[in-house]
Chains A and B, each alone.
Chain A
Amino acid sequence: MNKTQTIKDILSFVLNINKDYDFNTLSIDTNMNWDSMKHVTIITAIENEFDIFIEADDATSLTSYEKLLNYIESKT
């Protein structure tokens, strides 16, 4: 599975959104489900799926699909 699809699958599951959602607009500001607890789960899932370790400062800034994708592209 490619990185884009993996991130989309994680966000779909955690935020309970359809896979045909416009992910390019998805962020903590545009989705009411994306609260701090869900954010921790998203970061955990990303770390787990990509087998990486995200520093706390980075984790707090990864608040949109686009930021997550860019971060993963830079780390893997």
Chain B
Amino acid sequence: MSMGFLQATKIIAENTIKESKSFTFAASCQLDKIDIFLKAHFINQGYNANYDLLPYNTFPQYLINSNNTNHIVLIFPWDLCPALNWRLGNQNINTNIAQLEKEASTNIDLICQLSNATILYCDTDVPPVLLKSNESSILKNKLINICLKNNINIISNEYFSLNSYISNGCPIISNKLSSLASLITSLFLKNSEPKKIIVTDFDNVMWNGVIGEDGLDNISYDQSTKGYKHYIYQSCLKRLVNSGIILTGVTRNDEKLASLAFSDRNMILTESDFVCVIASYNAKSSQISMISRQLNLPLESFIFIDDNPVELEEVMLSLPEVKCLLFPKAADNLPDFINRLLNNFNLDTITEDDKNRTEFYKKRSLSISSSKKQGANLDEYLISLEMKINTKVCSQDKSARAIQLINKTNQFNANGIRISEQHIKERLSDNLLLLSFSLTDNHGNHGEIASVLIENKNKILNFVLSCRAFQRNIEYYVLHWIHKELSIDSLCLDYINTERNEPLRIFLSTITGKQVTADGQVNLDLNKICSQNRRIDEIFSETD
């Protein structure tokens, strides 16, 4: 909510609230101008803002010497890379993207060490330190990614005023001070309220591997090398459950499959540790909302953990009240992740009621029905990922990975039919066409993630997509590419329901506008499918 200056002064003058929130407002710039708005927005939320503002230009020293708890931290590109400071004046700096990225990673680590910090990063334009026009954009995206990986909130360039920054040291445009103060207030209160409920993803979080793809026997969660990170995570969750924290799970999986993993006696967590588990292919935000309604607990008390930045972004956009944490890919980042997780709970005093909380909420959550609610529109986020697809018409000698994908993928798989490598290779020069799609984005190279096997240019023998590429609209890109590049207007596909290919069935139902329920031939009108505006040209670019 935005308010005017005089309205803010009136709110402060008429304030009778006694309860305070204390914190340090840390930034490298002049932020006195936001004071009145910040105080008024805190009062609107029922608290007095009792805070210290860092003196101008003392932020770097503060990062090294701070012993305070509770922080609001507002950072800009120049806090990650000092050379990007518009007020520096000297742009005669010899540097490159790699150097700046490395420097930003070091500085973000320092900033993230601040205790109980609500951190906001303002994605401003950067000065022309890098002279090539596209290098500045690449750098900006890299800085955003570094922040996202560290669960930092991003605010857009529209808050930034170069004029204000140059003239008085405050980089925030005056007419946005109130909305920024409002955002800071809600994020701070969200972070400072102890969380009560953990919502955890399963695949590659609770265990290493994807149960729907790799099968129960090939996921690991023990003290072996691959499973160790997940073993530690589960141990931590178990202790939190025993301390009264409510544990729930959301997973894009078949329900039976999801519960199967917990039947293993070696798993630290058992099904009884979870108040509820929602296993469906709906948006994670929809699943979390459902848990909130069922348990009658506010979304502000939820913390959501997932390994997939796309899923996290979807939840952040749909449910800004929910705190989101990225489960680390590298084991080296696990201690930091566990620290951040534990910072969200008040575990100082644990009562008998706390210990019995799981049972209490379990009774409340007797039945949870599935939800068909759509998640957030992720188009803007997908565009920011700068996804590049390399499409390859496979020759005999370069078809191994594409064939392996067909024979390995379970969830997004048209029919589960396995075809031998030899059989495919023999027919490649005949009437078979094998397409392979590789993905890179600003997180890195994901390799070959989709394959399509087409017979006589009119029938799809199989269409598979790796589960790590879900939620990115790649399946739509594939159909667009076939339509555009091969001039194919219609295709049929033999659909067979397997135990695990629900994601493919949902996709077919969506694109045909009809519920696909039984085995049989499904006709795809590519003219119609590709005429739907899915911003494919904006989201993806093609590479050679």
Chain A positions within 8 Å of B, measured between CB atoms, are 1, 6, 9-10, 13, 37, 40-41, 43-45, 47-49, 51, 53, 55-56, 59
Instruction: Using known A-B contacts A6-B6, A10-B5, A10-B6, determine if residue A47 contacts B175 with beta carbons closer than 8 Å.
Output: yes
| Contact pick for A55, options B5, B163, B173, B174, CB 8 Å | B163
Complex contact B163–A56 (CB within 8 A): yes
Complex contact A49–B4 (CB within 8 A): yes
For chain B, the bracket of interface size reads 10 to 19
B32 to chain A: which residues have CB within 8 Å? Answer: 37, 40-41
Complex contact A56–B5 (CB within 8 A): no
Instruction: Using known A-B contacts A10-B6, A49-B5, determine if residue A44 contacts B167 with beta carbons closer than 8 Å.
Output: no
Complex contact B4–A44 (CB within 8 A): no
Bound-state CA distance A1–B33 (Å) is 23
B239 vs chain A, min Cβ distance (A): 49
A6 to chain B: which residues have CB within 8 Å? Answer: 6
A34 vs chain B, min Cβ distance (A): 15
Bound-state CA distance A40–B31 (Å) is 11
B9 to chain A: which residues have CB within 8 Å? Answer: 9, 13
Complex contact B4–A48 (CB within 8 A): yes
Complex contact A40–B33 (CB within 8 A): yes
A1 to chain B: which residues have CB within 8 Å? Answer: 6
Complex contact A59–B6 (CB within 8 A): no
* Pairs A-B, 6 closest by C-beta atoms: A56-B167, A47-B174, A45-B5, A48-B5, A44-B33, A44-B174
B56 vs chain A, min Cβ distance (A): 11
- A10-B5, A41-B36 known; 11 new pairs, CB 8 Å cut-off, are A1-B6, A6-B6, A10-B6, A41-B32, A44-B5, A44-B177, A47-B175, A48-B5, A49-B5, A53-B174, A53-B175
Q: Report B1-31 CB contacts with A as 1/0, cut-off 8 Å.
A: 0001110010000000000000000000010
Chain B positions within 8 Å of A, measured between CB atoms, are 4-6, 9, 30, 32-33, 36, 163, 166-168, 170, 173-175, 177-178
| Contact pick for A41, options B6, B33, B173, CB 8 Å | B33
A23 vs chain B, min Cβ distance (A): 16
The contact sample of 27 A-B pairs, CB cut-off 8 A, is A1-B6, A6-B6, A9-B6, A13-B9, A37-B32, A40-B30, A40-B32, A40-B33, A40-B168, A40-B170, A41-B32, A41-B33, A41-B36, A43-B174, A44-B5, A44-B33, A44-B174, A45-B6, A47-B175, A48-B5, A48-B175, A48-B178, A51-B175, A56-B163, A56-B166, A56-B167, A59-B167
Residue of B166, B167, B173, B174 with most partner-chain A CB within 10 A = B174
Instruction: Using known A-B contacts A10-B5, A13-B6, A41-B33, determine if residue A48 contacts B167 with beta carbons closer than 8 Å.
Output: no
Residue of A10, A45, A51, A53 with most partner-chain B CB within 10 A = A45
Which residue of chain A lies nearest to B167 when distances are taken between CB atoms in the complex?
A56
